[in-house]
Structure 1
Amino acid sequence: MEKWNELCYILSENLPTNTSEQLFELKVVQAFEKLGWSEFNNEIAVRESIQLGASNRISPDLILKSQEKGNLFIVEVKKPSIEVDNSTFKGQLSSYMGIMRVDLGILIGNKIQVFLDGKFFNKNGIVLIDEIEFKRDIEKGLKFVQLFSKENYNKEDIENHAQEKIQQLKEIEDFKKLKTKMLSENYGEKIIEYLKSELQNEFDTKVIDKVFKVLQVKIESKKKIVSLDNYQKPKARKYKTFENINETSGKLPIGKYVRKTFNDLVESNLIDRNEIERLQRGDYSKLTFDIQFPFLAKENSPYYERIRYWKNPYQINGEIYFVCSQWYEVPANNDRPYYEEWLKKMKSK
């Protein structure tokens, strides 16, 4: 993780205000040299001019290459103050990749976007397989270092990673699509028709129709979509949560307040993927909520401790997370104003 944190320092934290694209390009070269690539050894070609036909030329910002395999991938650098989510930038990268017959391309600006040729997914053009913000101690950053370090670079590993990411995205989209379908009025009618056909073997049709006139059959979202009834956790002795319970204040205790309002945010789909990533960082959680542990943690996370997180997990975008239970509301340590400020920001998006 130290290597990724160093890249964050070079490409984001230590940049002057209004860094030019030319200066940022030098920083990107420096970052790839930290990953083991060498401009001196011609493994990083900067603005190499490539002839196209009799009169045309192209000059990709960076081409990473090896003596054995030639061109490996292209890096297009954009001014870090400009959002890289731009179809023009993607189109330019796609054009360079196609002309040079390179399957892999990277856009680097205010974040990193990794693209792979669509042929690997039976699609036209190039496909975004990963998007990484310059935030310290994130899993995506560690994965980027693993995949693009010179000593570890292997095209098959990147293709496998891409397939995993595409599958994850597909599962999320399928989940949303199926949920919407099952909550539709037409699907409810289909369920009723199915039940009637099942009951016809045992009851008269007139009786079945009369019963359904006085009954309501519907599918609806669970009020607590984050509770997983079948989730099993190891038994352990109980610990008290550190909440200041002031029944006379008229307010929910801070712990109950966090659980209730966070559940509302999840149910309303108001927390985007980038915020989910940030909530898993200790430094962000300390700065934002003044708590000592990451707001969210997966069970396999090095930050997860059973006594520090509530036992009921939350399911967000197909992933299981636990929410930190260490909230205080005393004069010397009051977390409520910090949380309410964050909550207001999430609701205003």
Structure 2
Amino acid sequence: MNNISEIWNEICYLLHDNVKNNLSEKDFETQVIRSIELLGWKEYKNEIVRQYSIKVGRNSLIRPDIVIYNSDGNAIICVEIKRPSEDMSDYNYLSQLTSYMRQMKSDFGFLIGKELRVYYDGHLNKHPDPLLIEKIEFVANNNKGLSFVKYFSKYNYDSVDFHDYLKNKIKNFNRKAEVDKLLTILVSEDTKRKIVSFLKTEFSDFGDDVLLDALNKIKINIDKIYDKTRDGRQKEGYPPKKITGKPVNTIEPPKSIGKPDLPKILSSINNSARITLAQIYSVLFYMKKGFDFPSSVKFTLSLFPDVNYYQTIADKCGRRFAGDIPTFEEWFKSGEMLYHLRAKYSLSNFEYDLFKKLLSS
């Protein structure tokens, strides 16, 4: 077998570099045949058949442009050809190819025009439509093109390597489908409402009136991110996002431990940071019961149904109050907590006594 890169580069020459704008579909079909033969399949052996007629119903016939057969005489690939000047995004083209694949019971379909699209519709496909497992531009030394030559050559097709390649492609397709599903949820109005709710909880120190005024002066928008293709067109992209917090399942504290009386505490605190102080109070309540900081935060999370993130409460204790969590823990152990609470939040005498009673118990 010839060098893989040479084969792919010759395919690019036949189907792109040497194609004139006014080339007829029939002449382009001949170029496609030559390209398929470079993969080892031969027309003179009847491994490549043009315009094979398939009877559909009583009086109708359909004719795939090309069908490729294996040595057992089974159709394995149907090929639909479109001139390079035609728009391959036309759904009718895929519909045609799908019909041919299913009538011929072939696992694969090639849609060939200005680029090569490879579809799979075998038993591993759990979706209603064929899977687009590869979209390849006719560019010399294109890595996708080299893989195509390697796995769809007559000599490697149906090998162990080929099946591993196919399973990996299906896995990637399914993952992308899940990403697309999640993306739809992320850009929904419901998610935007949840973000606003999160901001209200995260910045509750400022009070509802201040927060609402600030939110009215900004625009919160979530959109898909698009990358540029080589020719400057837009295409969807999914660059990794930095996630600063993640939902954590709340953990109910043991019933024998009890819970802080939050309604009483909240009604007793007359402070713009009353929610934050109530959450810190709750964390300290559980730490006084002998639990570590992470467990105390998780127990507290279960008491505030509007808070979805562990990090929200942890940050209020650490980053936004003590500077970091180790310092918060050190203040708790050293008995300095009460002093710093009063200094940070200007506690009233009543609020001071509330925390003093807790920390002295």
- Shorter chain as normaliser: what TM range? 0.5 to 0.7
Pairing partner for 1:166 from 156, 163, 173: 173
The one-letter code sitting in structure 1 at the alignment partner of 2:30 is L
Deviation at 1:110, TM superposition (A): 1.3
Q: What is the CA-CA distance between 1:84 and the residue it aligns to? A: 1.8
Is contact 2:79-2:112 (8 Å) kept?
yes
Alignment pair present for 1:141 and 2:145? yes
Deviation at residue 3 of structure 1 after TM alignment:
2.1
Give how far 1:272 is off.
3.5
- Supply the AA of the counterpart residue of 1:22: K
Equivalent position of 1:283 in the other structure: none
Tell me if structure 2 keeps the 8 A contact 1:61–1:77: yes
Q: 1:160 to 1:54 in 2, by over 3 A?
A: same
Alignment match, 1:191:
198
Tell me what 1:78 maps to: 82
Does residue 67 of structure 1 match 2:71? yes
Say whether 1:5 aligns with 2:12. Answer: no
CA 1:136/1:211 → structure 2, altered by over 3 Å: closer, same or farther?
same
CA contact (8 A) 1:110 1:133 kept: yes
TM-score scaled by length of structure 1:
0.55
Is 1:107 equivalent to 2:28 in the alignment?
no
Query: What is the aligned partner in structure 2 of residue 229 from structure 1?
Result: none
> What is the correspondence of 1:287-298 to structure 2 with a 5 Å cutoff?
none
Residue 113 of structure 1: CA displacement? 1.4
Aligned AA (2:166): E
Shift of 1:193: 6.3
> What is the correspondence of 1:324-339 to structure 2 with a 5 Å cutoff?
none
Q: Is the 8 Å Cα contact of residues 118 and 124 (structure 1) preserved in structure 2?
A: no
Letter paired with 2:227? I
Find the counterpart in structure 2 of residue 317 from structure 1: 238
Partner in structure 2 of residue 271 of structure 1: 227
Which has the larger Rg? 2
Quickly say closer, same or farther: Cα 1:195–1:319, change in 2 above 3 A.
Answer: closer
Aligned partners of 2:64 and 2:80 also within 8 Å: yes
Question: How far apart in 1 are the matches of 2:173 and 2:84?
Answer: 27
How far apart are residue 10 of structure 1 and its match? 0.8
Q: Deviations over 1:184-235 (max 9, x none)?
A: 5412233256659xxxxxxxxxxx676454456899799xxxxxxxxxxxxx
Counterparts of 1:36-75 in structure 2, within 5 Å, are 36-52=40-56, 55-68=59-72, 70-75=74-79
* Cα contact 2:47–2:68 (8 A) shared by 1: yes
5+ residue gaps, structure 1 = 197-207, 223-266, 278-315, 321-349
Cα distance 1:148–1:118, how it changes in 2: closer, same or farther (>3 A)?
closer
> What value does the CA root-mean-square deviation take over the aligned residues?
3.8
Alpha-carbon deviation of 1:178? 5.9
Partner of 1:284: none
Contact preservation (8 Å) 1:183, 1:220: no
Q: Tell me the alpha carbon deviations over residues 59-111 of structure 1, each in whole angstroms, 9 at most, x when there is no partner.
A: 21111111226111101111222122211111111111121222211111111
Match of 1:286 in 2: none
AA of the residue aligned to 2:170:
Q
Is the CA contact (8 Å cut-off) linking 1:4 and 1:145 kept in structure 2?
Answer: yes
Report Cα offsets for 1:267-291 as digits up to 9, x if no partner: 99453445599xxxxxxxxxxxxxx
Identity %: 30
| Aligned 8 A contact 1:84 1:109 in 2 | yes
Q: Once the 2 structures are TM-superposed, how far is the Cα of residue 51 of structure 1 from its aligned partner?
A: 3.9
Letter of the 1:169 partner, please give it. K
How far is 1:148 from its partner? 1.1
1:20 corresponds to: 24
Shift in CA distance, 219/194, structure 1 to aligned 2, threshold 3 Å: farther
**Following TM superposition, by how much is the alpha carbon of 1:118 offset from its aligned partner in structure 2, in angstroms?**
7.9
The residue type paired with residue 34 of structure 1 is: L
User: Per-residue displacement from partner, 1:230-280 (whole Å, max 9, x unpaired)?
Assistant: xxxxxxxxxxxxxxxxxxxxxxxxxxxxxxxxxxxxx99453445599xxx
**2:154 counterpart (137, 142, 150):** 150
Q: How many equivalent pairs are there?
A: 229
How many angstroms apart in 1 are the aligned matches of 2:78 and 2:105? 10
SS of residue paired to 2:52? coil
Structure showing the higher helix proportion among its residues: 2
Distance change >3 Å, CA 114–CA 187, structure 1 → 2: same
Confirm whether residue 132 of structure 1 aligns to residue 139 of structure 2.
no
Amino acid at match of 2:239: G
